[in-house]
A and B are shown apart, each in its own frame.
Chain A
Amino acid sequence: MGIVSRAIRNISRRKIRALLVIIALGFSMAIMISIPAGVIANQQAATTLATNLGNTITETGQTINQTLLQIDCSLSSDFAGFGFGPQNFTFVPGQGDRNGFSSGGSSGGSWIAGLDPSQFGGGTVSGRFGGGAFGGGQANPMNESLYTDISQIAGVAAVEPVLQASEGSNVTTSFMGRTFTRMVPDYTIEGIPLISGLIDNYPIVPTNITSGRTLQAGDSGVVVLSENNSAYFNAGVGDTISILDNTFKVVGIHGSSGVSDTIVLYMNLSDAQRITNNEGYITSLRVFATSSDVVSQVATDIQSLHPELTVTTGQERLNQLQSLQSAYDTALANAQASIAQTEVTAFEEIIVVITATSLIVLFVMLYTVRERTKEIGTLKAIGFSNATVMGQFILEGILLSLIAGVVGIAIGVVAAPTISGLILPSVNLFSSSSTPFARALNMPTVAASVNLELIALAFGAALLLGALGSLYPAWRAAKIRPAEAMKYE
């Protein structure tokens, strides 16, 4: 009958109390391991997001440089009502492998609160630059006849009419008491004119082909899928897929441009107009100027001829890129500040939990010592040393905490994401203000997961807290005078 087995028997003597203490301590331990897990997850998420944004900016910049002569024209979509209301935001706190980006929402992107969403909206930007990363999609269709008008403006070298349409399902979410319906597109169709003079001289067809071929002049009934489309349709080069009840043959796969989840599939403009019932309509025009000198003049002329159009030049897109860059910088700074704040909060919470845990052990052990005063007196009367008595109680405290540690780890492994989500502030990338959009656009969540290091740490903490919490009660026990204890009933 050693000191350890006595400690175990003593704990099991008061089963309900031991159970309650173990549950209470277990939750403390679970919180203790969930908090660092949550902080790590936040840091990972911020890093992922920063990398994605950075890559997008770089690639967008490259594309813009290639298309300095390009002027984009589209009908101003329903951006005027932007603000609150049934707007759709396209940047969704990440879920799964989407890394925080959702592509091509319906009415223009508003991915950064405070920036004019029209800067990023419009089918063209989404189609060409970043593949829907910034929203875009269902812009208002306009009559194809615009094509003729604009072609005749001086300085215009070529005009590329484009029809873009997204297919997906509407998802309704409730946020801050408002209901938002946004379309989560499964894929975006981009119809481009497959005319030999046009596609030979201008960047119209997708170029980053990873298998098969790109579109050629006169192609009809064929599509070039993105890699994500390929997975969505479960089809590869040579396969046949059905789009809006029409059969298309896959001739090529293009790699992602911009962010990873590009879901644009390319086909002949006439095919796109036919299958979407948009014959005679397009969603945007890409106008190519004869030289960079005349780009802004051409843009002005287009605008004065068709004031209803939103006209964007390459230069303007560069400006947008700068805005994007500064938004990125802000987001990053906010993320860093936010994570620093999270770390401070986490630290404070851990201190509170450690204190609470030690106090639980302290009071339970104090109570136990009081309850067993007579027993302690007896043990000392029959020759137990103070050190042995003290050791007995410290061991009991440690054992109790260790059992609680196991329980806590079990809870933590299962519930770390929930616990850390509940008690840690969420990292806000875009603004410290609490506008609904800024909040809605919080960073993607990476599930907090408990690793071995944290488990080892929790065990160490359990051991230490058990020892710390039972130190004083054990000392009290050792100081009990046996003659006094004998009188105690």
Chain B
Amino acid sequence: MSNVVLQIENLNKTYMLGKRPVQALSNLSMHVNQGEFIAIMGPSGSGKTTLLNVIGCIDKPTDGQVLLDGIDVAKMPENQLYKIRRDKMGFVFQTFNLLPYLNARENVELPMEGKIKSKSERKKRAKELLAMVGLSGREEHRPQRLSAGEQQRVAIARALANNPAFILADEPTGNLDSENKQEIIKLLAKLNLTQGTTIIMVTHDSQAANHTERILLLKDGKIIKEKEGLHLAKKNNKCPNCGANIKSTDDICPICKKPINAIEEPFSS
């Protein structure tokens, strides 16, 4: 796996909680390759959201480097950072964060405002994206008329608006029921396979994490464990259980008949 698109070196982030300093990230180093689907897990307060925010350029590290395509964004001023967020990052939040007074299409158009001048072009692209996430015909619905799962799809379509290099998802399934959870994870996996978008997902949900290709476990602001997920098997077209050849669309191995997305705690030890 070559082609590193994100390289993080010795990242530190200290918050002041009142007068008490809290080390959210402690000398953290990692890298992400082009087209990877990564899950970041860890207990509450382990620094996963902080890490995601720093990668997404909406939070600044205390020190360390964040190299996006070789450019350090850790010290970049705000008047340049917003362009990186707009052009390279697509955020998906646990609470969807759709603007309630805009309909689905208008929400998806929001990030395009600074990039695409033509209104009709924005509208066309928003419709395409909504179709891609399976919401054709729901374009003019406001968020309150959409189900939680549908709202998260709109949010994913919005994240894809400017064809970003990264999708950064912070607990994207946290507010969804199990059925919708599956749907959203499948959607993200599909996007990763078909669009080649690099996805970094923070999650508590081991089932969701299992569907990625690499799982990082964070504790006290450090990566303490790393594990392969099932998504890698699909990508490599190999059954994780018997090593037989499979198709990326298969859910059950045609040879050993074991489910490829079997529920298994990634870090049970």
B99-A378 in contact (CB<8A): yes
Q: Which of A59-67, A86-94, A382-390, A450-458 contacts B (4 or more CB under 8 A)?
A: A382-390
Q: Which B-chain residue is minimally distant from A9 (CB atoms)?
A: B101
Say yes or no: B78 contacts A382, CB within 8 Å: no
Which residues, 350 to 386 on A, are CB-close (under 8 Å) to B? Answer: 374-375, 377-386
Q: Are A13 and B101 in contact (CB under 8 A)?
A: yes
Say how far B263's CB is from chain A's closest CB, in angstroms: 30
Contacts of B102 in A (CB 8 A): 1, 6, 9
Expressed in whole angstroms, the Cα–Cα distance for A382 and B158 within the complex equals 8
Contact of A1 among B53, B106, B170 (CB under 8 A): B106
Determine, out of B26-34, B81-89, B181-189, B253-261, the stretch whose residues face the partner at the interface. Answer: B81-89
CB interface residues, A 171-220, toward B, < 8 Å: none
- Contact pattern, A 8-22, Cβ under 8 Å of B = 1, otherwise 0: 011001000000000
Of A375, A388, A483, which contacts B53 at CB under 8 A? A483
For the residues of A in contact with B, the DSSP-based class is: helix
The reply to whether the CB of B79 lies closer than 8 angstroms to some CB of chain A is: yes
With CB as the reference atom, state the residue of chain B lying closest to A483.
B59
Q: List 12 A-B contacts (CB under 8 A).
A: A1-B102, A1-B113, A375-B97, A375-B99, A378-B97, A380-B85, A381-B97, A382-B86, A382-B111, A382-B161, A383-B87, A385-B83
Q: How far is the CA of A482 from the CA of B101 in the complex (A)?
A: 20
A-B interface pairs (CB < 8 A), number: 77
CB distance A386 to B79 under 8 Å?
yes
Shortest distance in angstroms between A288's beta carbon and chain B's nearest beta carbon?
91
| Among candidates A9, A375, A378, A385, residue contacting B114 with C-beta atoms closer than 8 Å | A385
Task: Tell me the bound Cα distance from A383 to B58 in angstroms.
Answer: 10
Residue picked from A1, A9, A378, A486, most chain B C-beta under 10 Å: A1
Give 15 A-B pairs besides A381-B56, A384-B113, A388-B114 with Cβ atoms closer than 8 angstroms: A1-B113, A2-B119, A375-B99, A379-B99, A382-B90, A383-B87, A383-B111, A384-B86, A385-B79, A386-B78, A388-B113, A481-B58, A481-B59, A486-B93, A486-B170
Q: Given A9, A382, A388, which contacts B85 in the complex, CB threshold below 8 Å?
A: A382
Cα–Cα, bound, A379→B85 (Å): 10
Q: What's the Cα separation between A384 and B85 when bound, in Å?
A: 8
Count of A interface residues, CB-CB < 8 Å: 23
Q: Which residues of A contact B99 (CB under 8 A)?
A: 375, 378-379
Is B176 part of the binding interface, using a Cβ–Cβ cutoff of 8 Å? Answer: no
Closest B residue, CB atoms, query A486: B93
Complex: A384 Cα to B78 Cα, angstroms:
11
Asked if A482 and B83 sit within 8 Å, CB to CB, the answer is no
**B178 CB to closest chain A CB, in angstroms?**
25
Does the CB pair A381–B58 fall under 8 Å? yes
B79 and A482 form a contact (CB under 8 A): no
Q: A9 CA to B101 CA in the complex, in Å?
A: 7
B110 CB within 8 Å of chain A: yes
The 3 nearest A-B residue pairs measured at CB:
A383-B86, A483-B59, A482-B58
- How far is B105's CA from A97's CA once the two chains are assembled, in angstroms? 65
Neighbour of A380 across the interface among B58, B87, B119, CB < 8 A:
B58
Give A382 Cβ to nearest chain B Cβ, in Å. Answer: 5
A416 to B96, CA, bound (A): 51
**B166 on the A face (CB < 8 A):** no
B162 at the interface (CB under 8 A from A): yes
Chain B contacts for A13, CB-based, 8 A: 101
CB of B24, distance to nearest CB on chain A (Å): 11
Q: Are A381 and B85 in contact (CB under 8 A)?
A: yes
With both beta carbons as reference points, the residue of chain B lying nearest to A383 in the complex is identified as: B86
Asked whether any CB of chain A lies closer than 8 Å to the CB of B109, the reply is yes
Query: How would residues 451 to 489 of chain A score, 1 for a CB under 8 Å from any chain B CB and 0 otherwise?
Result: 000000000000000000000000000000111001000
**CA of A374 to CA of B93, assembled, Å:** 12
Is there contact, CB below 8 Å, between B58 and A483?
yes
Contacts of A382 in B (CB 8 A): 85-86, 90-91, 110-111, 158-159, 161
Min CB distance B116 to A, Å, is 12
Chain A residue numbers with a CB within 8 Å of B53 are: 482-483, 486
Cβ of A384 to closest chain B Cβ, rounded Å: 7
- Nearest chain B CB to A372 CB, angstrom units: 9
Q: Using a CB-CB cutoff of 8 Å, which residues 421-477 of chain A contact chain B?
A: none
A384 and B101: CB pair below 8 A?
Answer: no
Distance between Cα atoms of A481 and B162 in the complex (Å): 22
B221 to nearest A CB, angstroms? 16
